[in-house]
């Protein structure tokens, strides 16, 4: 399904051109976030009570993620009509994901050693209240490599859609797309049907995105109302270190990567500012997945590459989560006075290379993955995670923002690597003046 400029614009805007009397979605979301902060600060109990607004919006988006990933990946793979190309694009994407997440893990580890955010807390396991932690971590979690691999396989074909497991849906989509590509012309009718289904789903996304300001308002009001602004001050050093590291990764690492492609990270962020505002408000990178795909196609990336790389990246290329995992692990160790040997840190890093690939791009997934990692290594008490409960929600916003930016850059790199990036078009779109980029502009 190749998005026309008009279709891409409708998806990105979430409304028709006739309704441009309202401020852009970017402005609406920022206003909603500001109002949410004020409500949570001035009336905490009211802020907590509007949590269903944020949860409802994220659930609406998650409801569509499975069908979007399945239809777009199947059509993308089948449309290539060359399984060697599918394998080549997928292999390059996985290689890039592994390289970037490893860099992110190492940067998080290095910054935690440099700034030692947990030093001076002097907590003990016996003094920690783990009752809330037990509620956060209910349910089975895979620990080892084999368990993670088996978790990718759904119990039934529809089971992946029922449970909303993106990685399982992705596996089904790759298998289905490969099968249809092998069938050839006989599968044309099925591929056409999936294209039409995808177009319909993106239409639903456009409707749902109109509720983005409401969702951002509810999520932010609840966060501030429940945890309070004072929570930020109690663990300010960790917050500052993590946010600073995320900014360093985006502007230095990803910035240099884009510079080698002849593009600017700042201009890309301006181009994606509406998607970033939605992620900031909801703390979920999944909430902007459909819009990100449309924007990248509008930027000049080949649709087949976008539809394979972006969904895969949401499970395998979580740069922000990777930074968080190593930094939070060392924070807990430092706070509890646990001195890790070099071998234990290497073991932690190796386990994280596996567990970080199983974290979904939704709120709280990084926390659960961290618990699974600590349980697998055994060198850091899992109970120490209770120290992070108060601020994890605030940190999840930086995780989600870094994740979505990393996936955008990865898609651009793989598309350029494959010779399927219209660089002239990309530069033209990104060079649009700020006042004119509130609407998606694409070059025919």
Of these ranges, 78-87, 157-166, 290-299, the one predicted with the greatest mean pLDDT is 290-299
Q: How confident is the prediction for the chain on average, in pLDDT?
A: 78
Return the number of other C-beta atoms located less than 10 Å from residue 403's C-beta.
Answer: 29
Instruction: Classify residue 3 by its DSSP letter.
Output: P
Return the number of other C-beta atoms located less than 10 Å from residue 437's C-beta.
Answer: 20
**Which residue in this structure is represented by tokens 């190593």?**
326
How far is it, in rounded angstroms, from Cα 404 to Cα 270?
14
> What digits encode the pLDDT tens for the residues 327-348?
989 988 888 888 888 888 888 8
Instruction: Classify residue 301 by its DSSP letter.
Output: B
Q: Return the CATH architecture of domain 5-436.
A: Orthogonal Bundle (1.10)
How far is it, in rounded angstroms, from Cα 252 to Cα 257?
8
Q: Which residues pair with 421 in a beta bridge?
A: 301
Identify the pLDDT of residue 68: 79
Residue 249 has pLDDT above 90, yes or no: yes
Per-residue tokens: 347: 């073991």
Identify the pLDDT of residue 239: 84
Burial 162-191 (b: 16+ CB within 10 A, else e): eebbbbbbbbbbbebbbebbeeeeebeebb
How far is it, in rounded angstroms, from Cα 57 to Cα 34?
18
Per-residue tokens: 311: 């969904």
Identify the pLDDT of residue 213: 85
Q: Taking the model in full, what pTM does it have?
A: 0.73
∠ CA 431-443-285 to the nearest 5 degrees? 70
Return the number of other C-beta atoms located less than 10 Å from residue 436's C-beta.
Answer: 8
Residue 20 has pLDDT above 70, yes or no: no
> What digits encode the pLDDT tens for the residues 123-176?
776 656 555 555 555 544 555 556 666 777 888 888 878 876 767 887 888 888
> What digits encode the pLDDT tens for the residues 33-46?
889 888 988 888 88
Per-residue tokens: 62: 């998650």
Identify the pLDDT of residue 145: 56
Identify the pLDDT of residue 103: 93
State whether residue 20 is helix, strand or coil: coil
């Amino acid at each position: 399904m190749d998005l026309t400029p008009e279709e891409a614009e409708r998806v990105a805007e979430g409304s028709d051109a006739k309704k441009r009397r309202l401020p852009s979605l970017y402005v609406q979301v920022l206003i909603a976030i500001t109002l949410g902060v004020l409500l949570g600060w001035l009336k905490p109990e009211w802020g907590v009570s509007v949590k269903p607004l944020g949860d409802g919006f994220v659930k609406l988006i998650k409801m569509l993620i499975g069908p979007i990933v399945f239809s777009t990946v199947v059509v993308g793979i089948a449309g290539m009509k060359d399984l060697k190309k599918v394998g080549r694009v997928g292999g390059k994407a996985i290689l890039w994901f592994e390289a970037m997440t490893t860099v992110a893990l190492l940067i998080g580890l290095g910054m935690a050693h440099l700034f030692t955010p947990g030093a001076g807390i002097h907590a003990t396991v016996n003094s920690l209240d783990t009752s809330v932690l037990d509620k956060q971590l209910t349910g089975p979690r895979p620990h080892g490599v084999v368990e993670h691999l088996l978790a990718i396989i759904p119990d039934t074909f529809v089971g992946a859609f029922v449970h909303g497991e993106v990685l399982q849906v992705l596996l089904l989509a790759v298998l289905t797309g490969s099968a249809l590509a092998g069938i050839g012309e006989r599968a044309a009718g099925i591929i056409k049907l999936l294209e039409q289904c995808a177009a319909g789903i993106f239409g639903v996304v456009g409707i749902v995105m109109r509720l983005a300001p409401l969702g951002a308002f509810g999520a932010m009001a609840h966060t501030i109302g429940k945890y309070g602004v004072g929570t930020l001050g109690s663990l300010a050093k960790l917050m500052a270190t993590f946010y600073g590291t995320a900014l360093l990764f985006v502007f230095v690492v990803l910035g240099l990567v884009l510079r080698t492609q002849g593009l600017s990270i700042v201009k890309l962020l301006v181009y994606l500012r509406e998607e970033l505002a939605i992620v900031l408000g909801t703390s979920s990178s999944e909430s902007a997945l459909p819009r990100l795909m449309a924007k990248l196609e509008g930027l000049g990336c080949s649709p087949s590459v976008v539809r394979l790389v972006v969904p895969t990246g949401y499970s395998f290329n979580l740069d922000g989560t990777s930074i968080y995992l190593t930094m939070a692990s060392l924070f807990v160790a430092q706070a509890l006075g646990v001195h890790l040997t070099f071998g234990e840190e290497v073991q932690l890093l190796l386990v994280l290379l596996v567990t970080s690939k199983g974290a979904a791009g939704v709120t709280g997934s990084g926390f659960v993955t961290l618990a699974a990692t600590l349980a697998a290594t055994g060198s850091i008490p899992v109970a120490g995670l209770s120290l992070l409960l108060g601020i994890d929600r605030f940190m999840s916003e930086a995780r989600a923002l870094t994740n979505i930016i990393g996936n955008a850059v990865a898609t651009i790199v793989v598309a350029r690597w494959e010779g399927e990036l219209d660089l002239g078009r990309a530069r033209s779109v990104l060079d649009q003046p700020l006042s004119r980029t509130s609407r998606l502009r694409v070059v025919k």
